[in-house]
Structure formats: structure tokens, C-alpha cells
Amino acid sequence: MRKHIPSLNGLRAISILMVIIGHIDQKNLNDFFYSRWPMLIDAQLGVNVFFVISGFLITTLLLQEEAQTQTISLKSFYIKRSFRIFPIYYTLLGVYLVLQLIGLLHFTAQSWLTALTYTKYLNWHADWEMGHLWSLSIEEQFYLLWPFVFKFARKYRMHFAFAIILIVPALRMLYVKTQYEWMNDLTLFQRVDAIMWGCVFAMYHDKLLAFTQRMAAKAKFWLWIPFLAIPTLSAFSLMNHYYDMHLGWLIVPFGNTTGTIADIAIGFIILITIHYSNNIVFKTLNAKPLDYIGKLSYSLYIWQQLFFSTKLGFTGMFPLNVLLIAIAALVSFYLIEKPFLKLRFKVLPE
């Protein structure tokens, strides 16, 4: 089973840097850059890149397991996910509990309940410090269901996948009309299609790669189109806003940087950056600095929100907070994440 896929850590690094830079601008610079050059600040795009990568990687591993064993071990899948996600996640919640007990932070019972049960997307706005857990809750909710579909409904995998990626854009439009808070733009109902697109690119990997290669053979410039698509979408959305072009019917369901078109572009970016190794993008993504940041990305994402809190005094001040994020991520990675991954390999040797 293939254990390392090139470029993914580099893409994770860019994603987490987008999130952190977006939060610096929001919490420390009062949206200085976003108010002037919003195309440069897009933390939500960073999260969607994580989503597409997650769906692609998990489904690739499921396909490889199925090819080798002709089945899927649900027990193995959930044990691996637990060792990967739970230790740092619940360590963060433990730190939050201590901070609440000593009076520095306060979380409601409902906020604790959604955090503990991976349903944070239902009330992500209840507090800043736990707010970022909405994305992990969407992933974990999705992966409660996807392996079952993958194993027990093999003939209907693609039906399920395309149902998701067709329904979610419709739900985005429904939200615009109804403004139901339980289905806002940071919930499962508007964002799960990004993970599903990653799964689709994994399941159609060979066909989509062949298509990419045919297009690249006709014109090398084609390989840059997915990279250019996302800033183009951002510019298009800004033009619609500034010039009142009334194109929300297109932009809301499909066209912004967390929508269908961007997810497809991210999927092709993944394929291109994995398989085309003789270009500057591949070399950059696989350079040691980005590869290392990518390895730290989960720890960075988990801890960064705390150090943008306005309730902890000087620890939220820039640039000290960035240094503290890096320190917390390094401690978390080496003292929690890596030991538990080693333990997982002892429990479930490859």
C-alpha cells in the first residue's frame, strides 16, 4: 500500500498558512488586507483545500485496501482515524477545560457538547476559541458514513457521491432564500461536497489523469488552468459584488472559492502536483520547508485559534501569537501526535 503521496504535505502547508494569515488579518490587523485586497486573504479556501485532500487521500487508501484484500476493514479504519484525530483534539479540549476552571475562558454547556461530539458545525459561532472545530466535525461526520457506503454499497458509491455534489449547491441556494442558521456556510450542509469531490477524484483517478495528460499534450498551458481558475473565480465574485451584476444564482452554488468549480480545480491541482514532477510547482511543494509545515498542519490548525483569542491578553498579540502557535504545534506534534501514531502502528501494523 502506497504510504506517501508527493505534494500533499506542501498543499497542506499552503492551506494552513492561508488560514493563519487570514486570522492574523482578521484578529490582529482589523481586516486591513481583506478590506483592500480580499483576493489575497481567503482562509476558507484554505479549509476547502484540506477537505478535498482529505477526501482524496482517505478514498485512495480505501481503494488500495480493497484492491489488496477485496474488502474494507471498518474496525481498522476507525481505529486509524481515532489515533490520528482524537489525541490532539481532546488534548485541546482538556486545555480549554483548565482555562475555563481558572476563569480565563468560558464555554457554554451546549458549546462543550458539540465540541465533544464532533457536531461543532451546528454552533461554531458560540465562541471564537472552539469555532474552528467546525471543519473537523464535518470531516468526522462524513467519515462515519462514507466507509459504510464504500464497503456495503459498492455498486452505488458513485450514485452517493454525485448525489452529494448535486444536493449541496442546491442547499447553498436554499440558505440564501431562507437564512436558516442551522445550514449556514460553515456547516455540513454547505461544505461537505468539497470532501466528496476529493473522493470522486480518487475514484476516477486514472480517467481524470488520462484526461489531464491528453489536454497537456495539446497545450502545456492547460496544466496552469486549474491554478488560475480560483483567483479568476474570486475576481468574478468581487466584480459581481461591486458592479451589481446579479449573478448570485451562479456564484452562490458553484462559483465562489468554496464552491463546486473551485473544488474541481483543487482536485485537478492535486492530480497535477502529484504526477508532474519536473516543474517548479512540484519542486516547491516538495521542498523541505513546505513538506515540514505540512506535517505539522494538523497541530497548527488545532492550536492556532487559541492564540488569536482576545481573552488571553498578550498571547494574542502579533507576532508573539505566531511564535506561540509554532511552539504549541511543535510540542503537540512531537509529544502527542507522533507517539500516538507509533502506537497505532503497533496496534495495527501495516
Residue 243 in any domain: the answer is yes
pLDDT at 1 over 60: no
Is a pLDDT exceeding 70 seen at residue 117?
yes
**C-alpha grid cell for residue 299?**
497541530
DSSP letter at 156? G
Is the residue at 210 inside a domain? Answer: yes
Lowest average pLDDT, out of 9-13, 22-26, 133-137, 238-242, goes to: 238-242
Question: Which residues span the domain enclosing 121?
Answer: 8-347
Confidence tier at 3 by pLDDT (50, 70, 90): low
pLDDT-based confidence at residue 66 (cuts at 50, 70, 90)? very high
pTM of structure: 0.96
The full length of the chain comes to: 350
Domain assignment present for residue 319? The answer is yes
Residue 34 located in a structural domain: yes
Q: Is 3 inside a domain boundary?
A: no
Give per-residue pLDDT as tens, 180-237: 999 999 999 999 999 999 999 999 999 999 999 999 999 889 999 999 999 999 988 8
Decide: helix, strand or coil at residue 119: coil
Instruction: Quote the CA–CA distance of 93 and 217 in Å, as a whole number.
Output: 51
- Specify if 2 maps to a domain: no
What percent of the chain has a predicted confidence (pLDDT) above 70? 99
Question: What does the pLDDT look like over 291-331, one tens digit per residue?
Answer: 999 999 999 999 999 999 999 999 999 999 999 999 999 99
The pLDDT-based confidence of 4 (bands split at 50, 70, 90) is confident
User: Under a CB-based contact definition with an 8 Å cutoff, are residues 24 and 322 in contact?
Assistant: yes
User: Does 1 reside within a domain?
Assistant: no
- Residue 329 burial (CB count, 10 A): 23
For residue 58, give the H/E element and its range. Answer: helix 43-69
Contact 147, 77 (CB under 8 A): yes
For the four alpha carbons of 94, 100, 104 and 106, in that order, the dihedral sign comes to positive
What own/partner pairs with CB < 8 Å and gap ≥ 24 does 154-157 have? Answer: 157/203
Number of domains making up the chain: 1
Domain assignment present for residue 335? The answer is: yes
